[in-house]
Amino acid sequence: MQPERPLRRPPITVIHIGNDKTQLQLTKLLLENADPRIKIITVLTYEELLEKLPTPHDCVLSNIHMPGIDGIRLYTLLKQSDDTPFILYTSKGSEEFAEKAYNSGADDYITKEMTPHHIQFLAKRITQIVEKHRTENTPLLNKKRLEALHIDTADIASATSLEEVAEHLFKAIQGTLGSSHVELHLIEEGRLVERYGLGPGLSEPLVQELDGASVTVRAAEKAEIQVVPDTRLDEGYKEEGVNTRTLSEVAVPFKTPSPRRM
């Protein structure tokens, strides 16, 4: 078996709005150096921000005190059309503004400190907030859905054939995760073999060696649930040059009990 490969985590794009161009550029440089995954787009005005909003982004980082508009008012306007996290970031904070920020629904309120420790903290908070938002808005990562899947698959225990197991499994997955493509694979003679499938599939059953890079193989190797939100960014797929049929994948391993000896 090949050694485990750490998954490449997707980049985080942040739109940072403020009224000091030099300060914006310095913060951009420090944040991108602190975490290479973070990419900063800087804007100086509300109008410029509106032009950048259609650009794919994961978070808005906003000063509070700006000409013509404050950060809390800006968040109130943006949340009507932009559901990405919003962090208020200021060098002139106060308890009053902090209370208003949290009451408004902003994801965080952070006071500026131009120190290496602070930049590391800011990068970490941006990452935590964005990843939490991604988790809550990605069906495959929704904990409640996975728990419901566990409950629904209880019928598998009463199945008397592999085909019946597949039927119960596919019904549970579609009912809880809403997946359009589901497969059941078995380990046979040291390989992973597709036995049943639901949705578009290959003309011949998929057969994979157990030293491959796919999420299904990794689940079998590690005996752990594997989740890949974006197969295009998954390091294993990219290294092996695997062409995937789906953008997001989840693989759940299960083991049948050994027959009892009489």
Contacts of 3 (CB under 8 A, 6+ apart): none
pLDDT at 77: 87
SS3 state at 12:
strand
Q: What is the DSSP letter of 214?
A: S
Query: Do 210 and 222 meet the contact criterion of CB atoms below 8 Å apart?
Result: no
- DSSP annotation of 199 reads S
Is 10 within 8 Å of 22 (Cβ atoms)? no
Q: Does domain 12-137 have CATH number 3.30.565.10?
A: no
| Each residue's pLDDT tens digit, 34-83 | 999 899 999 998 889 989 988 889 999 998 878 788 888 888 888 888 88
CA angle 169, 173, 178 (to 5 degrees): 155
User: 16 near 41, Cβ under 8 Å?
Assistant: yes
Q: Are 219 and 236 in contact (CB under 8 A)?
A: no
Residues of the chain with CATH 3.40.50.2300: 12-137
Which of 12-16, 45-49, 166-170 bottoms out in mean pLDDT, i.e. has the lowest? 166-170
- Of the pLDDT bands very low, low, confident and very high (cuts 50, 70, 90), residue 199 is low
Q: At residue 187, does pLDDT exceed 50? A: yes
Domain with CATH 3.30.450.40 in the chain: 140-251
Domain 140-251 has CATH 3.30.450.40: yes
pLDDT at position 79: 85
Whether 58 contacts 35, CB under 8 Å: no
Instruction: Convert the pLDDT of each residue in 221-261 to its tens digit.
Output: 887 777 777 777 776 666 555 555 566 777 777 765 544 44
Q: Is 200's pLDDT higher than 70?
A: no
Q: Are 79 and 105 in contact (CB under 8 A)?
A: yes
